[in-house]
Amino acid sequence: MHSSNRHIEPELLKTVQHYSILDELSASYDENQHLSTCLPYIAFKKSVGSLAAHEDFELMKYSEFLSMSKNVMEKAGTGSEPFPGTFMKPMKKDVNLPTEVLALLVEYYCNAYEYTFVTLSNIHTSSEDSIVVLPKVNQFSRLRVGAEVFGSTHSPRYIKSANVISQFVVDDNTTDIYPGQVQFFFEHTIHLPEGPATHSLAFVRWYDAADDRRSRFHCQIDNDNTKICNIELWKKDFFELSRDCIIPIHSILGRFIAGTMKIGKKNPKEYLSVIPINKKIHI
Amino acid sequence: MSHRKSKRSFVKESTSKPSSTRKHVICNCNICQGAEVDPRTKASHMKKREISRGLTDRTPERSSEIGTSQGHISNVPMDMDEMEISYDSGDEQYDSRDEQKFNFLTTKTNKPKRKFNINPLVLIERILSDHEDDDQEVEDDDVASIEDDDLEQNVNFDAPESGYGDDDSDIPNINIDQGFAWIVYWILKYQERFRLSDVATNSLIKFIRYLLISHDKNTYSMFPTSLYMARKLFGIGDQIIKYATCPTCCKLYSINNLPTDKPSHCSFQNFPNHPMTNHRSPCGAVITKQVPTNQGIVYRPALIFPIVNIKRQLQRLYNKKGFEESCRKWAARPNNDQELSDIYDGRIWKDFKDQNEDQLFFRHDVSDSNLGIMLNLDWFQPFDNSQHSVGVIYGVICNLPRSERFKTSNTITLAVIPGPSEPKLHKLNHYLAPIIDQFIDLWRGIDISTNETSSKHIRAAIICCACDIPAARKLCGLISARAACHLCEKVANFDDRNQSNFGGFDDMRQWFVKRDADEIRNNAYLWKECNTEDARKNHVSETFVRWSEIYRLPYFDSTKFLIVDPMHCLFLGVAKWIVTRLWIEENRLTTKHLEIMQERANKIKVPSDIGRIPNKIATGDGFSGFTADQWKTFILIYATTITWDLLKDDDRKILSYFVRACNILVCRIISKSGLNEAYQCLLSMVKLVEKQYGQKKITPNMHLCLHICECALDYGPLYSFWCYSFERMNGLLGNMNINII
């Protein structure tokens, strides 16, 4: 490939030097009108994939956000807090939520705030100070937080990154991590007495727990008090719809990859193996 | 008197009495300043002067400058003692604070100092020092076997002066709004973007010129006619420093000093003081090649070693808009004691001492002028079809935020080490010398103009060397990784077939001890005094270290700055070893198992931003041609699910421990408690491997992974220092098309 008789080493360094000089010159050419039009033609595409992890974002904001999803006990969000990222296309503007989801949403708000909320259809049966939850939402199929993109089943293309895990407080005041599949993300505005508040929420179907602890922690090793379980097994079916199906996007802990695993010798049962991707922060 | 005492306590004392029968002569060295001394004293002073030049700089003015800046060392020894004590106690204090929290730290040496252990400050003192009589005794003892007239005792790696001075580094001022300069600029950017060869760009420029001229002859008559002219328009010239280098011993020569009318021979003496005169002969290799020209045959250097002027590179970066602002960002980030999210949370950044030891180097008031440089050295193959290894040394400015630090435009490519093969052992020193010279200047500080102010005092220090293991050993002159660990006192065990291993964890308390950096430095200096091949070999096998130019940096601490690269160690080292050498080779996983694994792996659907692993689990011996990144994906995502029921109980444990440790370590933000857990997992894993597969399966990588947690504590999460970022740059360099016709 290099046909000249010259040495490659100085050539390489020279090329690197030339590039760095060009880079330095760029400062003085910032205002050039032609260049500001033409340089984007040859700009690099925004990096995707594992390289995107190197892209810049405010690490500190991000870690604050993450601490919210980690400490559900102390600082669970309501969904109206800002987050370091955006919703992404494809989107549907002003669509009506299905009735059963709307009912869950009303329940969600009742839990999150100390007000009473009702749907439009139930307005005449409820007390006067209750707040109406309108069914209009902006629906999105993707969410970017930091450098990570979450998908949803709403658009089949991104179904592979629709699996998320989230932490919940269970009855006896401990927390547990549950896996689920995001159906869609949505933005919803309610009119609280303090003023309107827009909530960033996700509609998630949760997977059903395995029959017993032994199957769930099948891949666990016990060694002098240290228990290490890198993947958990869950049933492949969804848990029935409940209020927990609507969560603020802030409580999404991360994505996981769904594998399948058969356990048991006599009548093997197939389970979903939950392989968390936590390359961003240690859970 | 106190002076002499302090010296005696460190320097080897000799029992021989000074002879007083010699005639005195006048010594012109800095210390005696013309006083009459013993001829041998004079000889030793002259020699010391040589050494001190080698140690600090080559010009006498500069070495005296060092003398003043470190004057308290050589002139007021009490100061030195105090300083040392305070330094030590500070260190211990720090350690005791930490030991409570982290079980993965190598412990600090508590052993009495060995007899050859000389503090570097004392060494400097010894070299620069005074003319007291006991000094003469010492020197008499040392030089006994050498003739008095042999002034230059040690092997000398200095590079020839090659004016990397401060010639004009102005940016040409071109008003881009007038005329066509922007078109040329765009074309050059276009070449960079698509990595086009010069030939391709040249023809593009010619074509554009034709287009423009046919459109408007008057305006564009000045449009460059070739790529050369286009570069000239922007003042892009040949601004690299080139040395001719000897193909055999790597000695550098200034190109201008080589005659073109006759072949030149290398004059480097590897053993200038060999007891047998015939071994002192210079290398003698031909360093030129014949180039036929119109004027007959001309002799040109056969190999060229190019380096950059770091000062000019920094100047260039500082001229960029926003560079200083980016450098200041680290100072504004909140301090978090529990979590490590970047290099600034690491111990090195927080504790790195300035020249006078009582203040930190990375202070908020100099956040954008005291730079921390991370060094990387690696070899790669630029050609597809021929064996030709080219080494590249990169410098990365750690003051920049993580997102900008590793951008190609912000990394400094310091030098390209010529091929066709990697320099062996200490020969790399020839290449390092001119770079280290520049870093010594940078440690003292330089003044450059920046985008914001007209003059700024810039200083820089190498705070980290992130290389793969072989390169790291060469860089710091350490013995092969097969023989001893460079961070702790572990020495390899050799079995009957002379294969080394790092097994044996029962006496871990004894060897999991940090090596003494001063001792290493001191031994490195002593290597230079070995005057035969055998002496050098013995020295290396006893002390595990040979000379490296990098020890000329006064602040360099090879036990801290030379990190274990997690990418090579964890994924290419441990992961690959466990799967291919333990499981597959010991028949824990058969070919049939591998096929099942492949089948299962194919069923797992990973998100698009995580690289899929190739369809090669069952190919060849298994896992053929997996890259580091693919190993990472395999371990973190696939391994547990697809191999669990194929493995026996203990192998499951090994896998679980390793996956757990990797899961913690690859995170963007690591909590300090997480590091403890990761270390425990790695240790349990290594112990289990030894129990299951025997001592001989504990490779250097298996041992080194125990040190990764400490490196993370020093430099923050693995993201901030691992070699993935540098390997990417090598990829870019390797893909550059040079001169495609």
* DSSP state string for B446-487: EEE--SS-S-EEEEEEEEEE---HHHHHHHTTBPPTTTB-SS
Q: Of the candidates B308, B321, B652, which has its C-beta nearest A27's C-beta? A: B321
How many Cβ atoms sit within 10 Å of the Cβ of residue A120? 11
Q: What is the pLDDT of residue B101?
A: 59
Q: Does the CB of A73 have a partner CB in chain B at under 8 Å? A: no
Q: B224 — alpha (psi -120 to 50), left (phi > 0) or beta?
A: beta
Please state, rounded to an integer, the average pLDDT across all residues of chain A: 79
Most confident of B1-10, B426-435, B713-722: B426-435
CA distance B715 to B733: 27
Q: Please indicate, yes or no, whether residues B51 and B68 belong to a single structural domain of this protein.
A: yes
Handedness of CA B210, B215, B217, B219 (dihedral sign): negative
Q: Of the candidates B382, B404, B674, which has its C-beta nearest A282's C-beta? A: B674
In chain A, count of helices (H) and strands (E)? Answer: 6, 14
Q: pLDDT band at B208, cuts 50/70/90?
A: very high
Of residues B670 and B123, which shows the higher confidence score?
B670
* % of chain B residues with pLDDT over 90: 2
Q: Please indicate, yes or no, whether residues A261 and A198 belong to a single structural domain of this protein.
A: yes
CA A15 to chain centre: 42
Q: What is the pLDDT of residue A130?
A: 81
Chain A residue with CA closest to B732: the answer is A16
User: Once rounded to an integer, what is the mean pLDDT over residues B14-38?
Assistant: 52
Q: What is the pLDDT of residue B211?
A: 93
Residue with tokens 């991104």, as numbered in its chain? A158
Contacts of B308 in chain A (CB under 8 A): 13, 17
Q: Are B475 and B467 in contact (CB under 8 A)?
A: yes
User: Once rounded to an integer, what is the mean pLDDT over residues B200-210?
Assistant: 92
CA distance B246 to B235: 32
Both structure tokens of A229: 């379980």
Q: Please indicate, yes or no, whether residues A98 and A237 belong to a single structural domain of this protein.
A: yes
Whether the ω angle into residue A90 lies within 30 degrees of 0, i.e. cis, is: yes
Contacts of A22 in chain B (CB under 8 A): 185, 188-189, 192, 234, 236
Angle (CA) A139-A145-A146 rounded to 5° is 155
Q: What is the pLDDT of residue A16?
A: 82
Q: Tell whether the model's pLDDT for residue A216 goes beyond 80.
A: yes
Q: Please indicate, yes or no, whether residues B712 and B577 belong to a single structural domain of this protein.
A: yes
Long-range contacts of B621-627 (CB under 8 A, 24+ apart): B621/B580, B621/B584, B622/B579, B622/B580, B622/B584, B622/B589, B622/B591, B622/B594, B623/B576, B623/B579, B623/B580, B623/B584, B626/B576
Residue type at position B486: H
CA distance B353 to B360: 5
Q: What is the pLDDT of residue B68?
A: 38
Q: Where are the alpha helices (DSSP H) in B100-180?
A: 120-128, 133-143
Q: What is the pLDDT of residue A205?
A: 92
In a domain, A70, yes or no: yes
Chain A residue with CA closest to B309: the answer is A17
Q: What is the pLDDT of residue A139?
A: 92
Q: Tell whether the model's pLDDT for residue B61 goes beyond 60.
A: no
Q: What is the pLDDT of residue B380?
A: 83
The tally of domains found in chain B comes to 4
Angle (CA) B141-B145-B150 rounded to 5° is 100
Most confident of A105-119, B199-213, B557-571: B199-213
* % of chain B residues with pLDDT over 70: 75
In a domain, A50, yes or no: no
Q: Name beta bridge partners: A269.
A: A263
Q: What is the pLDDT of residue B403?
A: 76
Q: Does the CB of A259 have a partner CB in chain B at under 8 Å? A: yes
Q: Does the CB of A225 have a partner CB in chain B at under 8 Å? A: no
- Of the candidates B615, B693, B606, the residue with the CA atom closest to the CA atom of residue B653: B693
User: Once rounded to an integer, what is the mean pLDDT over residues A22-41?
Assistant: 78
Q: Please indicate, yes or no, whether residues B81 and B211 belong to a single structural domain of this protein.
A: no
Q: Please indicate, yes or no, whether residues B299 and B194 belong to a single structural domain of this protein.
A: no
Q: Please indicate, yes or no, whether residues A33 and A100 belong to a single structural domain of this protein.
A: no
Q: A277 — alpha (psi -120 to 50), left (phi > 0) or beta?
A: beta
Q: Please indicate, yes or no, whether residues B139 and B212 belong to a single structural domain of this protein.
A: no
Q: Please indicate, yes or no, whether residues B700 and B599 belong to a single structural domain of this protein.
A: yes
> Is residue B20 packed enough to be buried (19+ CB in 10 Å), middle (13-18) or exposed (0-12)?
exposed
| Domain boundaries, position B107 | 2-12+23-143
Helix (H) or strand (E) holding A153: none
Q: pLDDT band at A20, cuts 50/70/90?
A: confident
Q: Do B663 and A282 lie within an 8 Å CB cutoff?
A: yes
Q: Does the CB of A263 have a partner CB in chain B at under 8 Å? A: yes
Q: Please indicate, yes or no, whether residues B63 and B209 belong to a single structural domain of this protein.
A: no
Q: Does the CB of A279 have a partner CB in chain B at under 8 Å? A: yes
Please state, rounded to an integer, the average pLDDT across all residues of chain B: 75
Q: Tell whether the model's pLDDT for residue A58 goes beyond 70.
A: no
User: Once rounded to an integer, what is the mean pLDDT over residues B96-104?
Assistant: 53
Q: Do A160 and B608 lie within an 8 Å CB cutoff?
A: yes
Chain A residue with CA closest to B416: the answer is A9
CA distance B432 to B307: 10
Angle (CA) B415-B418-B420 rounded to 5° is 150
Residue with tokens 């439009």, as numbered in its chain? A120
Helix axes B2-10, B133-143, angle to 10 degrees: 20
Q: Do A219 and B667 lie within an 8 Å CB cutoff?
A: no
Q: Are B539 and B736 in contact (CB under 8 A)?
A: no
In a domain, A283, yes or no: no
What value of ipTM does the predicted structure carry? Answer: 0.84
Q: Give B629→chain A minimum CA distance, Å.
A: 10
Q: What is the pLDDT of residue B209?
A: 92
User: Once rounded to an integer, what is the mean pLDDT over residues B54-75?
Assistant: 40
Q: Please indicate, yes or no, whether residues A39 and A63 belong to a single structural domain of this protein.
A: no
In a domain, B229, yes or no: yes
Chain A residue with CA closest to B419: the answer is A9
Q: Please indicate, yes or no, whether residues A120 and A33 belong to a single structural domain of this protein.
A: no
Long-range contacts of A37-44 (CB under 8 A, 24+ apart): A38/B182, A38/B186, A39/B186, A39/B189, A42/B186, A42/B189, A42/B190, A42/B193, A42/B194, A44/B193
Q: Please indicate, yes or no, whether residues B685 and B650 belong to a single structural domain of this protein.
A: yes
- Lowest-confidence pick of B152-161, B246-255, B474-483: B152-161
How many Cβ atoms sit within 10 Å of the Cβ of residue A215? 18
Half-sphere exposure of residue B25, counting CA atoms within 13 Å on the CB side?
12
Of residues B15 and B270, which shows the higher confidence score?
B270
Q: Do B611 and A30 lie within an 8 Å CB cutoff?
A: no
- Of the candidates B662, B667, B694, the residue with the CA atom closest to the CA atom of residue B678: B662
Q: Tell whether the model's pLDDT for residue B414 goes beyond 70.
A: yes
Q: pLDDT band at B47, cuts 50/70/90?
A: low
User: Once rounded to an integer, what is the mean pLDDT over residues B59-77?
Assistant: 39
The tally of domains found in chain A comes to 2
DSSP state of B668: S
Q: Please indicate, yes or no, whether residues B658 and B608 belong to a single structural domain of this protein.
A: yes
* Residues 6+ positions from B68 with CB-CB distance below 8 Å: none
In a domain, A51, yes or no: no
How many Cβ atoms sit within 10 Å of the Cβ of residue A151? 25
Of residues B3 and B495, which shows the higher confidence score?
B495
Q: Please indicate, yes or no, whether residues A37 and A147 belong to a single structural domain of this protein.
A: no
Contacts of B419 in chain A (CB under 8 A): 8-9
pLDDT tens per residue, range B522-573 = 888 888 888 788 888 888 888 888 888 888 888 888 888 888 888 888 888 8
Q: Please indicate, yes or no, whether residues B97 and B195 belong to a single structural domain of this protein.
A: no
Q: Give B181→chain A minimum CA distance, Å.
A: 10
Q: Please indicate, yes or no, whether residues A155 and A228 belong to a single structural domain of this protein.
A: yes
Q: Does the CB of A88 have a partner CB in chain B at under 8 Å? A: no
Q: Please indicate, yes or no, whether residues B216 and B247 belong to a single structural domain of this protein.
A: no
List all residues of chain A from 115 to 174 with a beta carbon under 8 Å from chain B: 148-149, 151, 160-161
Q: Please indicate, yes or no, whether residues A94 and A33 belong to a single structural domain of this protein.
A: no
Contacts of A268 in chain B (CB under 8 A): none
Q: Give B340→chain A minimum CA distance, Å.
A: 10
Q: Do A259 and B236 lie within an 8 Å CB cutoff?
A: no
Q: Please indicate, yes or no, whether residues A16 and A66 belong to a single structural domain of this protein.
A: no
In a domain, B738, yes or no: no
- Lowest-confidence pick of A65-79, B41-55, B303-317, B722-736: B41-55
Q: Tell whether the model's pLDDT for residue B85 goes beyond 50.
A: no
Q: Are B207 and B244 in contact (CB under 8 A)?
A: no
CA distance A154 to A144: 15
Q: pLDDT band at A60, cuts 50/70/90?
A: low
Q: Tell whether the model's pLDDT for residue A213 goes beyond 50.
A: yes
CA distance A94 to B419: 65
User: Once rounded to an integer, what is the mean pLDDT over residues B500-517?
Assistant: 81
Q: Does the CB of A10 have a partner CB in chain B at under 8 Å? A: yes
Q: Please indicate, yes or no, whether residues B667 and B600 belong to a single structural domain of this protein.
A: yes
Q: Give A118→chain B minimum CA distance, Å.
A: 38
Residue with tokens 């927080």, as numbered in its chain? B350
Q: What is the pLDDT of residue B58?
A: 40
CA distance B364 to B341: 19
Local structure of B374: helix, strand or coil: strand
Q: Do B236 and A22 lie within an 8 Å CB cutoff?
A: yes
User: Would you say how long chain A is, in residues?
Assistant: 283
pLDDT tens per residue, range B426-442 = 788 888 888 998 899 88
Q: What is the pLDDT of residue A204?
A: 92
Q: What is the pTM of this model?
A: 0.77
Of residues B110 and B518, which shows the higher confidence score?
B518
CA distance B303 to B421: 12
Q: What is the pLDDT of residue B210?
A: 93
In a domain, B387, yes or no: no
pLDDT tens per residue, range A167-211 = 887 777 777 888 999 999 999 988 888 888 889 999 999 998 888
Q: What is the pLDDT of residue B5?
A: 39
Most confident of B140-144, B273-277, B280-284, B595-599: B595-599
Q: Do A10 and B240 lie within an 8 Å CB cutoff?
A: yes
Q: Of the candidates A20, A52, A257, which has its C-beta nearest B316's C-beta? A: A20
Query: Number of CB pairs < 8 Å for A and B?
Result: 252
In a domain, A30, yes or no: yes
| Domain boundaries, position A31 | 1-43
Q: Please indicate, yes or no, whether residues A179 and A226 belong to a single structural domain of this protein.
A: yes
pLDDT tens per residue, range B318-368 = 888 888 888 888 888 777 777 788 888 888 888 888 877 678 888 888 888
Q: Please indicate, yes or no, whether residues A161 and A85 belong to a single structural domain of this protein.
A: yes
Chain A residue with CA closest to B340: the answer is A281
DSSP state of B410: G
